[in-house]
Amino acid sequence: MKISDLDSPISTIAQTHAQTRLDRRNFFRKAGYFGLGAAATGFALTGTAAKAAESAAQTADTSAEIFTAFLIAEDLATTFYYNGLIGGVIEDPNLSGPGGTAKLVTSAGNFGNVQYLRAALTQEYIHANYFRNLLTGSQTNPGADPYQTFYFPAGTFDTLASFLGILNALENAFIGAYLTVIQELAFKASLATTGSLTGGDAKYSASQYVLLAKQAASIMGVESEHRVLGRVIGNENPANNVTYEGTDGLASIYNGSASAVVALTPFLTPSTGPGYTLTAAVDSIPSLSVPVNDTGVYS
């Protein structure tokens, strides 16, 4: 089976999720640039109540909502890496060095570290194309995506510490979201075998949901690489410091107070800090991206 066999829905990308405005200072004080999911939810349920809330939220997530949430996340990531490559942080000695650029690393810089970031830009852009295709049947119109501007705390792209702090927070949230969606898609696959799915979810078979889960796992592996390579850039040892990746406090993707959408809300609201456009990031792909293996898991 190929991913094209999934009969990608042609639909209007959902834009109805609530943009809960979190106090910027309080949010980042709680997050400390880490644990976005847990910080954004503001509470933690335990035991039976937690399982019930998680199950209800996951059951409410439709396939279109899931794809929309990940399109937003990958557009956010594309914008983030682009601005890291053009911001003042690029002149850090751990990147291009004083006077350097993403395409001109000085003798005082680190060529390999810059390539890590350029590859990450390429990969996040390809991931966004994947979800855009699932939603609209096309990869070619980022200008119609739900969010065209993303907001980051002032100074995010000025210093290495600030940049890597946000990188770590974002990648942990992405990893957690992909772990969570694998569970959700597996559940949908089980429902598909009994004909229990309704609406747009019913258009996919159990085997197609399994394939979607497999692709999500494939993307999660790359996001995990990004987290570790960010730690390499920051000279944090060991860079591969976890035995198992975690959900970062996430319990669902689109619905519920512990959803990936809620976790990413601060980056969708102007109260967080300066805005950065997706268009600028997309336009940079021909000049800043580097070749990567983009075959993915299609069968």
Each of the 299 residues of the chain gets a pLDDT tens digit; together they read 444 444 433 233 333 333 333 333 344 443 344 445 443 444 445 577 766 777 788 889 999 999 999 999 999 999 999 999 999 999 999 999 999 999 999 999 999 999 999 999 999 999 999 999 999 999 999 999 999 999 999 999 999 999 999 999 999 999 999 999 999 999 999 999 999 999 999 999 999 999 999 999 999 999 999 999 999 999 999 999 999 999 999 999 999 999 999 999 999 999 999 999 999 999 999 999 999 997 766 65
Question: What is the sign, positive or negative, of the torsion defined by CA atoms of 203, 208, 213, 219?
Answer: negative
pLDDT score, position 52: 73
**What are 292's two structure tokens?**
């990567």
Distance CA 112, CA 257 (A): 39
Query: How do the domains of the chain map onto residue ranges?
Result: 62-288
**Quick one: which of 160, 68, 154, 83 has its CA closest to 120?**
83
- Note the pLDDT of residue 55: 78
Our CA angle for 161, 165, 171, nearest 5°, is 145
Q: pLDDT value at position 295? A: 74
At 287 the pLDDT is 98
pLDDT of residue 70: 98
Helix (H, G, I), strand (E, B) or coil at 79: helix
Please state the pTM of the whole predicted model. Answer: 0.86
Neighbours of 17 (CB within 10 A): 19
